[in-house]
Chain A
């Protein structure tokens, strides 16, 4: 697809137009070098960080919010569903990948109208990842640290120039509307982009050398996740069932419908839920199919690396590393996968 170039000054003018026409969430950097998503106003656009790595905040929260009011009842008919026009700038390839996975969940044969409305009213401007974190492992999930399709626009920074790749008709219309701000990108810039991308891939691979893991994972997860040898590793035992890993995970999609009294009527909310919680599974008479922590711990792996592959043709892990950062039990998903893959090579 078409690649354009612009500079920082013009790009901020472009963002001004966007802010004038909806809400803008973009990456900013804090004093410690951590990347965050913030809602930015017209006079804050100089704070936008392009590139670097994925933000601390989970990308799903824009579309699958921690709490969504989904119904008010009693009422003769369902309420109208609306969503604010929104631009999300700064998702990396892993964030975009996560969205594509959630799209399959929430917009398959039965559509979640709340998710759909937010998705329809949003523009996705991704950025190449340039400085991966020590917890990043997208390459080991079979992905690249830059997006190739699925974005409306994608940004790469090269020698002070900003490259804007157009990915969809929506993105094309957006740049066409402000064509004075963009020019065609020349070959040298594209070559520089290519070189930078290659370097980032190498960087991510280097970070993860010590784990020696690689796609696919389904077969080994099926075969060895339940094996005594894997359990003996004791990797799950430091888990305190806090649910941090699933909350920060951009592909974990579990939720609960929760009813509450509101004056003389009732409100139903969809709230994030966690498969590590015993209550998640509990049925009448306190029966449960997953009585032990280990059962629930395994579910997270089976769900991501086995069931999702069968049901949605995708591994539900993008390698973003957020769960590794978030875990107070210091559980590293890469270590878990590594032990599982080692078992295939030398079953104990």
Chain B
């Protein structure tokens, strides 16, 4: 008898390593029984045994599925429990779910990547994908912000990213902090004088709902069209396969049609940003 796929069953995965990114963010390096191929932007449902699961987008390169990294902000029941876990312990994985970023659409174009806080985690997977074929894109421009310097994720990689041929990176923190010599201000301030060809550019943004809202307004203000903007949206999720209803944004299921949505498709949805 053919084995029936059970989309709700969590596959076992071992925590290989836990990397502390910031006081509230950790990266979990996972190895499942079989490597799980995924595309940048697709997400996983991660189970803490006996407790429950929550959705997360891998932050690692899709080219290394045997070593999946998931970067997690501590914020509630499941994530608190995860932050207590150590290398060698077991978690569950379902997925990948969703469509992932429309990377091929970005070929030959400039790609503006705007992240806030832990929102850089899903975007890192995209960045690795873009960097893997950097010649295919006109330019990759990264704008990233967090509240304080110690809340900046993946700082160890910033220098490398900024120096890549065809890429540039700009970082800001919300309010001045001792020892910080970089830019200060909300991430939207990095969008003021963009040195980009607005006609041939796509924007991808991920972060808290309020940030997404103000980034979107700013982008529209500086001349982007809704069709050029992709937002990694957030909703409560349960099934991941378009059945349970939780993740609806208008007629779309974030888990199937997203989680990154073209702004033109969702701009009329009431309460889009909560």
**Residues of chain A at the chain B interface (Cβ within 8 Å):** 70-71, 73-74, 76-81, 105-106, 108, 110-113, 117, 226, 253-261, 265-266, 268, 270, 273, 275, 280-285, 287-291, 295, 298-299, 302-303, 306-307, 310-311
Chain B min CB distance to A314 (Å):
13
CB pair A273 B245 closer than 8 Å: yes
Select the stretch in B62-70, B148-156, B233-241 that faces chain A: B233-241
Q: Can you report 11 A-B residue pairs in the complex whose CB atoms are below 8 A from each other?
A: A74-B92, A78-B4, A253-B243, A255-B238, A256-B246, A257-B52, A259-B51, A273-B246, A298-B270, A307-B250, A307-B251
Given the contacts A254-B245, A280-B246, A289-B235, A259 and B9 also touching, CB distance less than 8 Å? no
CB distance from A340 to the nearest CB of B (A): 15
Task: Please give, as numbers and ranges, the residues of chain A lying within 8 Å of B260 by CB-CB distance.
Answer: none
- A273-B244, A289-B235 as given contacts; A257 in contact with B9, CB under 8 Å: no
Contact A105 B49 (CB under 8 A): no
B residues near A258, Cβ cutoff 8 Å:
52
Size class of the contact patch on chain B = 35 or more
Interface centre among A254, A284, A287, A311, by most chain B C-beta atoms within 10 angstroms, is: A284
Closest chain A CB from B15 CB (angstroms): 14
A261 nearest CB neighbor, chain B only: B50
B229 to chain A, nearest CB (A): 19
A103 to B248, CA, bound (A): 19
Which residues of the other chain, B, contact A281 by a CB distance below 8 angstroms?
A: 235-236, 246
Assess A285 versus B47: contact at CB under 8 Å? Given A226-B270, A254-B246.
no
Contact at B251–A110, with CB atoms within 8 Å? Answer: no
The closest CB in chain A to the CB of B97 belongs to A110
Pairwise interchain contact A108-B242, C-beta atoms closer than 8 A: yes
- Is B245 touching A303 in the complex (CB atoms < 8 A)? yes
- Smallest beta-carbon distance A136→chain B, Å: 26
Q: Is B271 an interface residue (CB 8 A)?
A: yes
- B178 contacts the other chain (CB 8 A): no
Question: If A113-B4, A259-B51, A283-B235 touch, does A73 touch B243 (CB 8 Å cutoff)?
Answer: no
* Whole-angstrom CA separation of A149 from B107 in the bound complex: 49
Q: Which of B240-274 contact A (CB under 8 A)?
A: 241-246, 248-251, 270-274
Cβ < 8 Å to A, chain B residues 98-125: none
Assess the B76–A284 pair: CB atoms within 8 A: yes
* Whole-angstrom CA separation of A313 from B51 in the bound complex: 37
Q: Is the beta-carbon distance between A71 and B50 smaller than 8 angstroms?
A: no
Q: Contacts A73-B49, A261-B50, A281-B246; is A270 near B236 (CB within 8 Å)?
A: no
Pairwise interchain contact A71-B12, C-beta atoms closer than 8 A: no
Please measure, in the bound complex, the distance between the C-alpha atom of A256 and the C-alpha atom of B244, giving whole angstroms.
Answer: 7
